[in-house]
């Protein structure tokens, strides 16, 4: 065995030999010699490691050379291809964290293209010519849309919560209900965020019930604020109760404390008018008297990732002066995307039609049924090696928005005959553009709710190629 391994290792070609092959010479024209050489060396080391593990036992020098060339060409091609590339979301999860969450509206992309080509205004007053605040444009819109005195933006809602707590309650106590000690994606837990901020967390109540008296009894001379956290990504059902926001505001203000409201998804639209369970909106929180409100910018608002902070003018001014403000500040792309998205909400009817997140949530069941049946019919005519049909199912909003509220849809269902469902879903991911679908009971599920215009045709073409007879 050792002799065979040594012999195979001796068959490994030199880096120079691979660099001189016609294929690498041709492909390498788009790269510096240093880059190509580094990649060839990495490929050689990977193959060497596999040989030591007992692979490629019967491979001669020509075969190993071919494999090195193949892997090098693949690596070079991958370098050229965008990593953050367009994918087709056929999963039915509207705010899919792995797929960039909210889809930006066409108007947003057009405004970015128009206004950010070349230099753009970020921190200059066009009247005074003096340095200004970079969040001015977004603040103006948020004030009009929510009724808040002031607003600013950071890079996500976790950062918003952290900088608010650090500004208001560093070294002091913040009271929060045990039922609201949430963990969000990536194992970021509220107690950890609070500890990082320098605030001291005081838990009150129980997992399922917290009363007004629990907050009142926990207040001490070292208390700075009461914190309400909307549990965006879960619901507790049954024997439960939480103190209404308005009552929490009264408790806080009676004792001279600050009420912080983490609204989570941060909707600008009351979704209950469309039959959903009530979810807090930014305007409702402002109207209830919250002193500081935080939320995401990229969930039910539908902009790019960001954290919105609304509230009293003096508190927002203090947050802007915080030493961490520069660390968590956002750049021109985030601000431009948020500004253009917020402008759509100046006309609510327009926002419901043009903000992709809201448009997908509100798609009609009959339209989804028609779309799934049309794809199934076209695939039937393509004579693919699979059983195809349309079946009732559910979509999800995702990313902690409208939790526990499934959206009725109709799914395109594909059961491949000569291929495992896992193999098919992998081939769909390797298609160009990649297609992200779901697997259930050895069937591939395609949900038309999250498809954009024309993507149904791409899916039919992809499945026809992969499963064609």
Lay out the sheet containing 438-440: strands in order across: 386-395, 407-416, 443-446, 438-440
User: Where along the chain do its domains lie?
Assistant: 2-80, 88-96+362-467, 106-354
Given the structure tokens 């779309």, which residue do they identify? 371
Mean residue pLDDT across the chain: 91
By three-state DSSP, how is residue 176 classified?
A: strand
Burial of 402 (0-12, 13-18, 19+ CB in 10 A): buried
pLDDT of 217 > 80? The answer is yes
Fold of 88-96+362-467: 3.90.1150
- pLDDT tens digits along 91-108: 999 999 999 999 999 999
At residue 469 the predicted structure's pLDDT band, cuts being 50, 70 and 90, is low
> What single DSSP character describes residue 135?
T
- pLDDT tens digits along 397-427: 987 677 667 899 999 999 999 999 999 999 9
- pLDDT tens digits along 123-153: 999 999 999 999 999 999 999 999 999 999 9
pTM score of the predicted model: 0.90
- pLDDT tens digits along 23-56: 999 998 999 999 999 999 999 999 998 888 888 7
> Alpha-carbon dihedral of residues 170, 171, 174, 180, nearest 10 degrees?
80
> CATH second-level architecture of 106-354?
3-Layer(aba) Sandwich (3.40)
- pLDDT tens digits along 345-399: 999 999 999 999 999 999 999 999 999 999 999 999 998 999 999 999 999 998 7
By three-state DSSP, how is residue 310 classified?
A: strand
């Amino acid at each position: 065995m050792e002799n065979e391994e040594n012999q195979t290792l001796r068959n490994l070609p030199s880096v120079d030999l691979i660099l001189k092959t016609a294929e690498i010479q041709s492909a390498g024209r788009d790269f510096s010699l240093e880059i190509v050489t580094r990649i060839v060396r990495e490929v050689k080391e990977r193959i060497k490691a596999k040989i030591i593990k007992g692979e490629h036992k019967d491979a001669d020098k020509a075969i190993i050379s071919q494999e090195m060339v193949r892997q090098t060409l693949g690596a070079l091609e991958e370098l050229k291809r965008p990593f953050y590339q367009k994918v087709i979301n056929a999963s039915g999860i509207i705010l899919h964290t792995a797929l960039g969450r909210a889809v930006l509206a066409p108007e947003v992309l057009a405004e970015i293209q128009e206004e950010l080509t070349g230099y753009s205004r970020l921190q200059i007053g066009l009247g005074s010519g003096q340095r200004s605040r970079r969040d001015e444009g977004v603040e103006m819109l948020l004030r009009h849309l929510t009724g808040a005195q002031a607003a600013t933006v950071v890079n996500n809602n976790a950062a918003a919560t952290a900088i608010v707590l650090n500004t208001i309650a560093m070294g002091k106590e913040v009271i929060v209900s045990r039922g609201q000690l949430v963990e969000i994606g990536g194992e970021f837990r509220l107690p950890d965020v609070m500890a990082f901020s320098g605030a001291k967390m005081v838990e009150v109540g129980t997992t399922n019930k917290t009363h007004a008296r629990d907050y009142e009894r926990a207040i001490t001379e070292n208390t700075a604020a009461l914190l309400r956290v909307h549990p965006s990504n879960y619901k507790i059902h049954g024997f439960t109760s939480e103190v209404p926001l308005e009552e929490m505001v009264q408790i806080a203000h009676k004792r001279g404390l600050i009420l912080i409201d983490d609204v989570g998804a941060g909707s600008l639209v009351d979704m209950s008018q469309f039959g959903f369970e009530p979810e807090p909106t930014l305007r409702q929180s402002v109207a209830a008297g919250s002193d500081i409100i935080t939320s995401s910018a990229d969930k039910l608002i539908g902009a790019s990732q960001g954290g919105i902070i609304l509230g009293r003018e003096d508190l927002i001014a203090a947050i802007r002066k915080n030493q961490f403000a520069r660390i968590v500040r956002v750049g021109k792309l985030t601000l431009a995307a948020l500004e253009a998205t917020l402008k759509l909400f100046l006309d609510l009817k327009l926002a419901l039609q043009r903000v992709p997140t809201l448009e997908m949530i509100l798609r009609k069941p009959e339209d989804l049924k028609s779309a799934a049946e049309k794809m199934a019919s076209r695939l039937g005519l393509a004579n693919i090696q699979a059983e195809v049909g349309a079946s009732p199912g559910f979509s999800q909003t995702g990313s902690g928005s409208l939790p526990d509220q499934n959206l009725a849809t109709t799914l395109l269902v594909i059961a491949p005959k000569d291929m495992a469902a896992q193999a098919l879903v992998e081939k769909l991911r390797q298609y160009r553009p990649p297609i992200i679908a779901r697997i259930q009971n050895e069937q591939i599920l395609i949900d038309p709710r999250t498809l954009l215009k024309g993507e149904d045709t791409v899916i039919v073409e992809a499945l026809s190629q992969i499963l064609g007879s």
